[in-house]
Structure 1
Amino acid sequence: MTESQQLAQFVQDADLARISPEAVEQLKIRVLDTLGVAISALDAEPTVAIRELLTDLGGTPTATMIGGGKTSPERAAFYNSALSRYLDFMDAYLAKGETNHPSDNFGAVLSSAESVDASGAELLTAFAVAYQVQTRLSDVAPVRDKGFDHTTQGAFAAAAAAAKALRLPAEQIANAIAMAGTANVALRVTRTGNLSHWKGLAYPHVSKEGTFAALLASRGITGPEEVFEGNKGFKDSIAGDFEIDWSQEDLESVTRTIIKKHNAEIHSQSALDAAQEIRDKEGFDPDEIDKVHLTTFDVAYSIIGGGEEGDKQLIRTKEEADHSLPWMLAVVFLDGHLNPEQYAPERITADDVQALMKKVEITPSDELSKRFPEHMPAELQVTLSDGTEFSTSKDSYSGFHDDPLSWEQAREKFDVLVTPFTGDKLRDEIAEIVHDLDNRQVSELTEALSKVSVSRG
């Protein structure tokens, strides 16, 4: 068997009965969290433009768009993934050389499952497949340092999960994986320099293409069978050699992922917690800040601290703001929190935030870098104009490995995000369906999602 065929056999054999109760609960929490951030992005300018485009394009109405309307599965996958990705408030997986967001695959899973009238148990199983494939490839085949984006491994996961949701046999699953993995090698420039809308749309594109590859495979279309190990395949051209014995893999990777507490890039979470702690100390006045110094781990510095992926002092847009640690620290010191409302255009460019972020200095530490990704260390010092100093350090935050989110905590975040679009009754209906999803049909969930308002009430 080729490596894609071995992976396909793992996907075909995946079953909810093989997943621990803890992992099933965490899958449901990820569904709830993903839907929460998706619904909260319904009125964002880029997602409104995408909805208008898809409405103009049409498409066979077999999959629901959150907020109402139906289109073809691959287009619904793109739209729903764009919603869940846009706010940058989702879950994450931290490997030593790669960071990704496995919940980005939910759009592909939801549209594919709905199109075949799948059960909620089938949806959860396909979602677990996405987590396993994406996290394990990130463990052994990171590509960021070689100039490629994490969506590159995601293409294999999106196709595998969509094919599972579509109930394809192993042969067709292998072809879907091969087509999507071959065709979606993505450049890391997506997340370097001055960021564009594509930062939030690169994975929705993969979600769409993974779904479409699965649909092609369902009609007998084939892909390169040695996509991993073949001449000029994924290993030869991009990742280098690696091994995964898919026959020995479980479906528990969701328990190794983390969920964001702050609406910010994942590596900022503990630093923002530290900023909140200092802000709450007696005698602290953000208007009197003279300088801020953050010591952090190398990945955070490289991606959001002004390191190799670009200077983070020119901040004009939402995409730039949520990937600038100086800007995020400044707004937390001033506002006390970082939620979607902080990304209003007028708040992003406000004089107080722009001035304070210039006082932030960030340096990487070898010692802290060695503790990542098992920890997310941050050491923060703030000096006021009168010389008063405040300092604190953090290793994690609520939602990290050592303090995973409970259903009740996930509900709190969900309720805050969606109530303006749902009201109390529909909000509770969606949450109840999700928590009982292994005993429901996917159509029950999509029917409820179709009733969500596309604008705040």
Structure 2
Amino acid sequence: MKNHLVRTHRSAEHFPREEQLAWRIAEVAADTVQVAPETEEMIVNRIIDNAAVAAASIGRRPVTNARAQAVTHPYQPGSTVFGIAGSYSPEWAAWANGVAVRELDFHDTFLAAEYSHPGDNIPPILAVAQHAGRSGRDLIRGLATGYEIQVDLVRGICLHEHKIDHVAHLGPSAAAGIGTLLGLDTETIYQAVGQALHTTTATRQSRKGEISSWKAYAPAFAGKMAVEAVDRALRGEGAPSPIWEGEDGVIAWLLGGPDKEYSVPLPGPGEPKRAILDTYTKEHSAEYQSQAPIDLARRMRDRIGDLEQIASIVLHTSHHTHVVIGTGSGDPQKFDPKASRETLDHSVMYIFAVALQDGSWHHERSYAPERAQRPDTIELWQKISTAEDPEWTRRYHSTDPNERAFGARAEVTLKSGEVIIDELAVADAHPLGARPFTREQYIAKFRTLADGVVESAEQDRFLDVVQRAGELSAGELSELTCTVSAEVLARAPKSPNGLF
């Protein structure tokens, strides 16, 4: 890996295109390096993971509405939309599938200087692969690039510090991945990356206060923009340049300002793209920094015994966890029993309370209004707070994977004065956790979430095809989806008429 210094340059300066971050990214995307077997295996795992979450979310309102928008754009050759038959315009398929994947906050994650869900790259890259008649090998290479670029940007550039949403790293990564998939030249990818970044920078209000369904739509929008950016670049249309480093560019006005310097690591020529191996998926449908606290709560509940005897609980954790999903956010909505699912998903206080009481976590039942509004839950919920601990913050940002931690130390004070303390650094499903996810666990997650949604024979067909993804020939990628019965679709809320 080579670290690239990225800073603002005045328009009067001589700043060669070849030194711009967008060009460096395009060079990585245009590199025809082969994908390592372990990387390919993990890519297949994440395609399975995305399908699992898409199956579980198929009947939810935001997913239903996104699907309804997509079906008004039939196209040939086109791309598939999860759950239904037919072919649709690739950018709209990417949109619908992107919402389905993100709606439950239940797929993979990478945390460093910034947050990310790099599995969001899969819907747009797969949609273009299907439409363009590419092979499974092309798809694997494209997805390896998408993951690599997003993870590398997340390592080097913090967005949330400046209240910019993390999908600003997704637009460029998806565009780069599509460039690899299609075998595009560096110039074309460069223009697409710049356009994708320019159109996907937005504020973090989508994850603050009263959180709405746009939290799921935001990454789908970034994927859709990436597809459209590549289309325009192929037609010869250019991007603002230099997009990151320009005098009126992203760094100068949206991030650290004209004096800020960032260091972004990228693979060198011929260096394999392995970043997906540093990412991790979720066992529980909740914001990633809640994964370890859920497992910690399950572990502590027997030691605590009678939960009525709890006087207070303090979760000592990282700055990120404290201010994003903890009491450091200052969001009263995180204690509101009538808050949206999206808001509860970003309240570690609520999540820890329910996990303590139930000893489990469910993607639907744990968020149900009747569950959130239980009097005993509200009482326990109000007793929980978070506190930033410098050591947890340091470990959160550690570059040593054996030291990096996304968990918390829980101090439970009982009414008797007794204090029960336990801590967990990483979730059980993390590669260094108690029960790391392997292919077996990914398949089990898919089977569990697809149960009652996708018929068994269709599950079997999908799992057979996806595990041969790298061997699929041109035209076979349309099989990398699942269809569901009309009865299942009928259970979804009726989508009101829109413009399309």
* Band of TM-score, shorter chain: over 0.9
Residue number among 313, 318, 333 corresponding to 2:335 in the alignment: 313
The 1-side partners of 2:480 and 2:149 are apart by 29
Secondary structure of the 1:271 match is helix
Letter in 2 for 1:397: A
Residue number in structure 2 paired with 1:277: 299
Q: 1:451 and 2:483 equivalent?
A: yes
The 2-side partners of 1:13 and 1:351 are apart by 58
Residue number in structure 1 paired with 2:356: 333
Q: Residues 267 and 273 of structure 2 are in contact (CA less than 8 Å); yes or no, is this contact kept in structure 1?
A: no
Residue number in structure 1 paired with 2:4: none
Residue number among 366, 384, 389 corresponding to 1:360 in the alignment: 384
Deviates more, 1:322-331 or 1:59-68: 59-68
The 2-side partners of 1:386 and 1:303 are apart by 32
Q: CA offset at residue 409 of structure 1? A: 1.6
The 1-side partners of 2:267 and 2:308 are apart by 58
Letter in 2 for 1:300: T
Residue number in structure 2 paired with 1:7: 25
The 2-side partners of 1:193 and 1:442 are apart by 46
Residue 32 to residue 309, structure 1, CA distance change in 2 (3 Å): farther
**Structure-to-structure mapping, 1:278-293, within 5 angstroms:** 278-281=300-303, 284-293=305-314
Q: 1:304 and 2:334 equivalent?
A: no
Secondary structure of the 1:411 match is helix
The 2-side partners of 1:123 and 1:23 are apart by 13
Secondary structure of the 1:380 match is strand
Q: 1:169 and 2:193 equivalent?
A: no
Q: 1:241 and 2:273 equivalent?
A: no
Residue number among 399, 404, 410 corresponding to 1:380 in the alignment: 410
Q: Deviations over 1:233-260 (max 9, x none)?
A: 2333334433447461641111111111
Residue 306 to residue 215, structure 1, CA distance change in 2 (3 Å): same
Deviates more, 1:224-233 or 1:73-82: 224-233
Question: Identity over aligned residues, as a percent?
Answer: 28
Q: CA offset at residue 167 of structure 1? A: 3.4
**Structure-to-structure mapping, 1:427-438, within 5 angstroms:** 427-438=459-470
Residue number in structure 2 paired with 1:255: 277
Q: Deviations over 1:204-263 (max 9, x none)?
A: 110110111111212222223422333322333334433447461641111111111221
Q: 1:198 and 2:198 equivalent?
A: no
Q: 1:54 and 2:74 equivalent?
A: no
Residue 271 to residue 244, structure 1, CA distance change in 2 (3 Å): closer
Residue number among 77, 82, 89 corresponding to 1:72 in the alignment: 89
Q: Residues 63 and 73 of structure 1 are in contact (CA less than 8 Å); yes or no, is this contact kept in structure 2?
A: yes
The 2-side partners of 1:244 and 1:365 are apart by 27
Q: CA offset at residue 431 of structure 1? A: 1.9
Letter in 2 for 1:402: L
Letter in 2 for 1:242: Y
Residue number among 178, 188, 195 corresponding to 1:179 in the alignment: 195
Q: CA offset at residue 266 of structure 1? A: 0.6
Q: Deviations over 1:47-98 (max 9, x none)?
A: 1122223334555560110011332111110110100000001111111x31
Q: CA offset at residue 169 of structure 1? A: 2.5
The 2-side partners of 1:245 and 1:357 are apart by 41
Q: Residues 193 and 229 of structure 2 are in contact (CA less than 8 Å); yes or no, is this contact kept in structure 1?
A: yes
Q: CA offset at residue 159 of structure 1? A: 1.3
Letter in 2 for 1:334: Q
Q: Residues 135 and 472 of structure 2 are in contact (CA less than 8 Å); yes or no, is this contact kept in structure 1?
A: yes
Letter in 1 for 2:262: F
TM-score (norm 1): 0.92
Deviates more, 1:348-357 or 1:429-438: 348-357
Deviates more, 1:162-171 or 1:144-153: 162-171
Residue 92 to residue 247, structure 1, CA distance change in 2 (3 Å): closer
Residue 441 to residue 344, structure 1, CA distance change in 2 (3 Å): farther
Q: Deviations over 1:383-433 (max 9, x none)?
A: 455666543211112232424421112122121111221132222222222
The 2-side partners of 1:186 and 1:259 are apart by 25
The 2-side partners of 1:205 and 1:164 are apart by 21
Residue 345 to residue 379, structure 1, CA distance change in 2 (3 Å): same
Q: CA offset at residue 344 of structure 1? A: 2.7
Residue 286 to residue 433, structure 1, CA distance change in 2 (3 Å): farther
The 1-side partners of 2:266 and 2:412 are apart by 49
Letter in 2 for 1:347: R
The 1-side partners of 2:209 and 2:238 are apart by 38
Q: 1:105 and 2:158 equivalent?
A: no
The 2-side partners of 1:247 and 1:381 are apart by 42
The 1-side partners of 2:200 and 2:103 are apart by 20
The 1-side partners of 2:374 and 2:407 are apart by 29
TM-score (norm 2): 0.85
Q: Note the aligned Cα RMSD (angstroms).
A: 2.3
Letter in 1 for 2:30: Q
Deviates more, 1:403-412 or 1:104-113: 403-412
Letter in 2 for 1:222: G
Residue number among 95, 102, 105 corresponding to 1:85 in the alignment: 102
Structure 2, unaligned runs of 5 or more = 1-16, 398-403, 492-500
The 2-side partners of 1:336 and 1:61 are apart by 48
Letter in 2 for 1:396: V
Residue 444 to residue 389, structure 1, CA distance change in 2 (3 Å): farther
The 1-side partners of 2:417 and 2:92 are apart by 56
The 2-side partners of 1:232 and 1:198 are apart by 28
The 2-side partners of 1:150 and 1:177 are apart by 16
Q: CA offset at residue 38 of structure 1? A: 1.4
**Structure-to-structure mapping, 1:121-136, within 5 angstroms:** 121-136=137-152
Residue number in structure 2 paired with 1:420: 452
Letter in 1 for 2:464: E
The 2-side partners of 1:378 and 1:260 are apart by 17
The 1-side partners of 2:462 and 2:302 are apart by 35
Structure 1, unaligned runs of 5 or more = none
